[in-house]
């Protein structure tokens, strides 16, 4: 068996319906998404377990969401 590098990646140019550009990155030790909102808005973020948390975005202020290792 050959060893393979860990799966990592990055997406660019992703836009949300609420007016933000999102740049997600991921690796075996976790994932991060930088959101760059173009307008001020409150959204609700849900996890895969169903937990929800409101987040206030302010136009022009980046917001970082991160998750630990899977």
Per the confidence metrics, is the pTM higher than 0.75? Answer: no
Instruction: Kindly report the number of other CB atoms within 10 A of residue 13's CB atom.
Output: 7
H or E element, residue 61: none
Note the pLDDT tens digit of each residue in 6-63.
689 999 999 999 999 999 999 988 999 999 999 999 999 887 888 898 999 999 999 9
């Amino acid at each position: 068996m050959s060893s393979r590098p860990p799966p990592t990646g990055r997406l660019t140019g992703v836009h949300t319906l609420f007016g933000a550009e999102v740049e997600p990155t991921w690796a075996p030790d976790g994932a991060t998404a930088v959101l760059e909102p173009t307008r001020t808005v409150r959204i609700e973020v849900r996890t895969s377990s169903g937990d929800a948390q409101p987040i206030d975005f302010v136009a022009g202020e980046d917001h970082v969401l991160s998750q630990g290792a899977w």
